[in-house]
Amino acid sequence: MNQIEIEQFGEELYFIAASPASRRLRTQAELLSQTDVPLLITGEPGTGKATAARLIHSLSIRSSFPCVEVNCKALTADLLESELFGYEHVGISGRIEAKVGKIEQSFKGTILLRDFDALPGSVQSRLLKLLQTREFVRFGGQTQIRTDVRIMATAEGDLEQAVAEGKLNDELYYHLSAFELNIPALRERRDEIPLFVGHFVNKLTRRYGVTAPAYSGTFLEACKQCSWHGNLRQLEVFVKRFLAFGDEATALEELKSQPFEQSSDDSNGHPQNGGHAADEEASLKVLVRHAKGEAERSAIAQALEETHWNRKAAARALCISYRALLYKIQEYQLVPHESFSIRGTRNGFGNGS
């Protein structure tokens, strides 16, 4: 019987190892935690790359300092640079106002750049300079700021092809890929699937305050036989639906159908399920668009509140044009809080001065 190791290192963060692949991964993570160099973490969508990064951070000497995540796909190019490096601008009073970015927030800790290959070219260049010099300048500022932070990055695509196509700065890629950790797909560690099912059931029943439904060994064996091309992310969504219906028979029927089709491998051991992969990619794109919109809406709303709905000041803070801000306010249907609306502004917006 395989040895089972379950390690908790956060409120809802666990590392589960019941396969040779995961035990090798745990050993590699501990070795990498003892270094202080940049790290690239690769793997299919949903394999747990961010969890692996947080495990490495928790094992390192930086563990008592923050581990800050930035989703490079979730922010527009206009917002991402100021989100990472912070910004400076001249306020209404004529004094320089500054906002600290994620890099400064993670001082002495770790910053995790999720999907770093989605960074626009200008931000890639600034990140490369940070790696080379450990210094940066806030957006709109002039002062060089010295920092102490370990940079980790995750990616899912073909990075060498991105370099060849000019989408990814080759020097940045080589700096980050000197140490690379690949997270195995869930189908390569099937013995852990029953453990993850139990973990997700426990986590989600606590979160939603529902009673955990009973499930059999037949149910767990059926879960083990599925290909799970969406990996842990797909498995967790399936468990959510199982909790909603609370019926094992219904869940077993779902496991027999798309998108939870049983794995069918060719003679080389490569899964043959192109239709499922396309469905999963399409659904993930929808999730990415939704997350990006929510992040952008939140950033714009925060800037408007910080400037008391002075739209020109908010546009400067966000480093976008005044016209673009007006469009975004209308697109996201943003309105000022009651405390701002007492000024008698028209259409619920500030005066824009």
* Among 124, 40, 113, residue whose Cα is nearest residue 72: 113
Both tokens of 325, joined, read 């801000």
CATH of the domain at 300: 1.10.10
Q: Is residue 270 part of a domain?
A: no
Residue 68 lies in a domain: yes
**Do residues 170 and 39 both lie within one domain?**
yes
Q: Are residues 76 and 118 in the same domain?
A: yes
CATH number at residue 148: 3.40.50.300
Residue 266 counted as domain residue:
no
- Residue at a domain's end among 162, 182, 202: 182
Are 57 and 147 in the same domain? yes
Q: What is the mean pLDDT of residues 297-311?
A: 83
Residue 212 domain-assigned (yes or no): yes
- Coil, strand or helix: which one is 131? helix
What percent of the chain has a predicted confidence (pLDDT) above 70? 82
Over 50: is that where the pLDDT of 265 sits?
no
Residues 126, 207 within the same domain: no
Q: What is the pLDDT of residue 323?
A: 75
How many residues belong to the chain? Answer: 353
Amino acid 167 reads K
Q: Which of 235, 167, 240 is nearest to 210 (CA)?
A: 240
Tell me, yes or no, whether 304 and 193 share the same domain: no
| Residue 261 pLDDT greater than 60, yes or no | no
For 198-256, write each residue's pLDDT tens digit. 989 998 998 888 888 889 999 999 999 898 989 999 999 999 999 988 889 988 888 88
**Based on the structure, what is the number of domains in the chain?**
3
Q: Which of 155, 182, 209 is the last residue of a domain?
A: 182
Sign of CA dihedral 223, 229, 231, 237: negative
Q: Please tell me whether residues 217 and 334 are part of one structural domain.
A: no
CB 88 within 8 A of CB 140: yes
Q: Are residues 140 and 249 in the same domain?
A: no
Please identify, among 241, 256, 271, the residue that sits at the C-terminal boundary of a domain: 256
| Positions of E strands within 127-266 | 135-137, 144-146, 150-155, 180-182
Provide the 3-class DSSP secondary structure of residue 76. coil
Q: Could you tell me which residue, 168 or 12, shows the higher pLDDT?
A: 168
Give the rounded distance of the alpha carbon of 147 from its chain centre. Answer: 23
CATH number at residue 232: 1.10.8.60
Same domain assignment for residues 244 and 163: no
Q: Higher confidence at residue 72 or residue 327?
A: 72
Asked if the structure places residue 85 within a domain, the reply is yes
pLDDT at 6: 80
Let me know: does 205 contact 212? Beta carbons within 8 Å. yes
Same domain, 238 and 332: no
Statement to judge: residues 317 and 335 lie in one domain: yes
Cα distance between the two ends of the chain: 70
Name the residue with higher pLDDT: 197 or 327.
197
pLDDT > 50? residue 353: no
CB 134 within 8 A of CB 146: yes
Q: Is residue 37 part of a domain?
A: yes
More confident residue, 145 or 178: 145
Q: Is residue 265 one of the residues assigned to a domain?
A: no
Report the C-alpha gap between 259 and 275 in whole angstroms. Answer: 9
Sort strands 150-155 and 110-114 into parallel, antiparallel or unpaired: parallel
* Alpha carbons 314 and 292: distance in angstroms, whole number: 19
Per-residue pLDDT at 128 exceeds 80:
yes
Q: Are residues 177 and 35 in the same domain?
A: yes
CA R_g for the chain: 23
Q: Which domain holds residue 338?
A: 282-348
- Shared domain for 198 and 304, answered yes or no, is no
Could you tell me if residue 96 is inside a domain? yes
Is pLDDT above 90 for 327?
no
pTM of the shown model:
0.69
Q: Which of 33-37, 86-90, 154-158 is least confident?
A: 86-90
The average confidence (pLDDT) of the chain is 81
Q: What value does the mean pLDDT take over residues 262-280?
A: 39
Does the structure show a pLDDT above 90 at 93?
no
